[in-house]
Every structure is written in C-alpha cells, then in structure tokens.
Amino acid sequence: MKARLRSTVAAMLLLAPVAATLVAQPAAAQQQAAPAVTSMALNADAGLSPGSTLRLQVQATPYARSASVALGDSGVVVQLQPQGPGTFTGAYVVRRADRIDPLQLMTARVSDGQRTISRSFSFPPAFQALAMGGQASGSRADDRQDRREERQQRREERREARNDRSAPQITGMAPAHGERIGERGRAEVSAKLADEGSGIDKASVRLRLGGRDVTANTRVTDDEVSFRGDLDPGRYTAELTVRDHAGNMTSKSWTFDIVERQRDRVGAAPAGELPLHVTSHDNNARIDAGAAMVIQGRTAPHATVRVQVETVANVAGLLGLTQQVMDQTLQADASGNFNFAVAPGPFPIAGARYDVRLTSTRGSQTAQERLTLYRG
C-alpha cells in the first residue's frame, strides 16, 4: 500500500550515520598511547519507537579493547562487541518504558584496560526532527490513508458476502448414518465443514443429539465440528446447522446407534466379540510436527487389520484438501498387538488432520475403530 511505502521511505531516512565531529575530551588531557574514539554511527529501523532496533558502531584506535555508548540521560547503556582492531558494534531494542531524548548527547566510551576515554555525539538530524514535531503531518496523513484503506476493505468484504449465494457444505459425518458403534464411556460425533464464499460463521453452528443441544460442549473450527461426551446406549439423531458469513444456511441430520458392550471382571470383551482398541493415542491428540506417527493397538490374536489413513489440510487457499496417505493390511501378533507408522512426508503441514480408520477381521467377525489426530 502507498501508505506503507511512504512509511518505509521515512524509516530509511532515519538511518543516516551520526556525524563524528562534536564535543570530545581535550587532546591535552590524553596521553599519546591512550585509546581514542574516531567516529560513531547510529542506524534504526523505526526511529526511537518501542520495538525499534538501534544499531551502533564505534571506530576507535586499534589498541582499544572495549567500548560502550550511553544514550543521553535515559540510563540506557549499550555494550558493544569488538569486530576487529578498533571496530565495535552493538544493538539495542527500544523498550516501551525507555525515555530516550534525541536532543541530548550520546557518549561513546572506549578503554584499553587501564584508561577510559569518552567522546560525545549528537543524534542524527532526522531523530531530532521527530522529537521537535517534524514529519508529524505526514504521519497523520498516513494514518488517515490507512483508515480509508481499512474501510474500503470492510466494504469489499461486505459486498463479497452479499454476492455469496452458495451454502456451506457438511460432509464426513461420523458415526456414519445407520452405523452401530460400541459404547466406550465417551463417544465422538463429528462432521467436516467447507464454504467457498464468505467462510463459515463459527458462532452460528448448532449441534443437537437426541433432541439435546450440545453446542456448548462442541469443538468448532473453520472446517470441522466435533463433540465428545458420554452417551448412553440407544439410537441417536444428530442435527447439525451451520451458516456462512453471508447468512446462507445448511442443515443435515443422520442417525446412529450406540451399542452396549458388556465387560467381564478383567475388562476383556466377552467370548465371541472381536476386540479392537487403539492403545497409543487418545482421539483428537496432537503429534509432533516433524515426527513419524506410530500408532499401536490391540485386537484378537492373529487377526487381520486394515489401516486406512487420510490427511486433510488447507493448502494454497483450498479448503479441506484430502489425500490418502496409507491403505495397507497387517496382521496382529499372538497377543493381538499391532502397530504401524505414518511418515510425516517431505513437507509436513502444521495443523493437518489425520483421519485413521482401522478394520479388524477374523473369520466372519469384523470390528472398526476411528481415530483423529492433528499434526502440531
């Protein structure tokens, strides 16, 4: 934007080096072999504003060992580091509490370990001009321009919302319509959201289960709705309603069954029922951004386990880009344990969602388990 360009040019004008021809200690007071300051330079990326980085350089005689710069009477003293014979540099980030007056003098001090010699310098003229009100009118003009551009952007967003005629999409409902899932104390109900126009209005999302509003306990993001809670065995109808920022609404309902699973005293599934559990991760857990995802589980001894993994991420402006990263079959060991690893790929995407579906089969028995993980 033009306003930002003008601000950048103004900041560059502040980077003029400090003149090195001001007050110095009298030459008669120095011995021939004493260190001396020959010049000093000061640069900044945003003047003396909080957060601005000041970069200082002091040139001294080659036998100087250390150097520092005091910024007026502010109490700020910047210790410099040697970069070569007689050359010292340092940086300081201006804090909000600092009171640095560019109308005062900076004092550079150098030492050879026995004697310390100081020399004073003025701040660059551009710093002094700002302190005396210079460039203020330009800054106000830039602020007005920024406000105009912000208002224009809001008008364009409202116009885009008015032109949005496409309702949001609700897909990937889980449990699926008509699915029967085993009750494990906490069940998960979720769905994927997408909108190619003005975007999902997260405040509009409403989820009801069996006629009960559970929105307050539902996790809502730009592309997903997820509820996890205690559900008694029985049939449930999920009703999900969502709007976009243009007011377009979509509603979907589906039905699933929670099937009671009886346990014996040691917690094992009763005879004849095929067990399948993930033991390494909780649902909706987060994994390290660059680490391989190793999932462990337990089923019946020597059962066949099919592993299907899809990743969902927002890439280059595409909402909910889905890609299958694994579809393989493995066999549990004699104790029913199994594990597999999903590599992060050459370019892992932070925040990507992994939808994992496990299907265990032994003879005529089949059991399914779902798991959602997020890359940190």
Domains belonging to the chain, first-starting first, are 2-131 (2.60.40), 172-261 (2.60.40.1220), 274-376 (2.60.40.10)
pLDDT at 92: 93
pLDDT at 9: 35
The 3-state DSSP class for residue 344 equals coil
207 pLDDT above the threshold of 90: yes
pLDDT at 136: 40
Q: What is the mean pLDDT of the chain?
A: 78
For residue 333, what pLDDT band results from cuts at 50, 70 and 90?
A: very high
In this prediction, residues 158-167 reach a mean pLDDT of 69
pLDDT at 12: 38
For residue 354, what pLDDT band results from cuts at 50, 70 and 90?
A: confident
pLDDT at 33: 63
- For the chain, the three-class secondary structure string (H helix, E strand, C coil) is CHHHHHHHHHHHHCCCCCCCCCCECCHHHCCCCCCCEEEEEEEECCCCCCCCEEEEEEEECCCCCEEEEEECCCCCEEEEEEEECCEEEEEEECCCCCCCCCCCEEEEEEECCCCEEEEEEECCHHHHHHHCCCCHHHHHHHHHHHHHHHHHHHHHHHHHHHHCCCCCEEEEEECCCCCEEECCCCEEEEEEEECCCCCEEEEEEEEEECCEECHHHEEECCCEEEEEECCCCEEEEEEEEEEECCCCEEEEEEEEEEECCCCCCCCCCCCCCCCEEECCCCCCEEECCCCCEEEEEEECCCCEEEEEEEEEEEECCEEEEEEEEEEEEEECCCCCEEEEEECCCCCCCCCCEEEEEEEEEECCEEEEEEEEEEEC
For 25-81, the pLDDT digits (tens) are: 444 444 456 788 989 999 888 888 888 899 999 999 888 889 999 999 989 999 999
pLDDT at 30: 43
pLDDT at 231: 81
For 68-113, the pLDDT digits (tens) are: 999 999 899 999 999 988 899 999 999 988 889 898 999 999 998 8
185 pLDDT above the threshold of 60: no
For residue 272, what pLDDT band results from cuts at 50, 70 and 90?
A: low
138 or 157: whose pLDDT is higher? 157
pLDDT at 140: 54
pTM summary value: 0.34
pLDDT at 144: 66
Task: Identify whether the C-beta of residue 225 lies closer than 8 Å to the C-beta of residue 172.
Answer: no
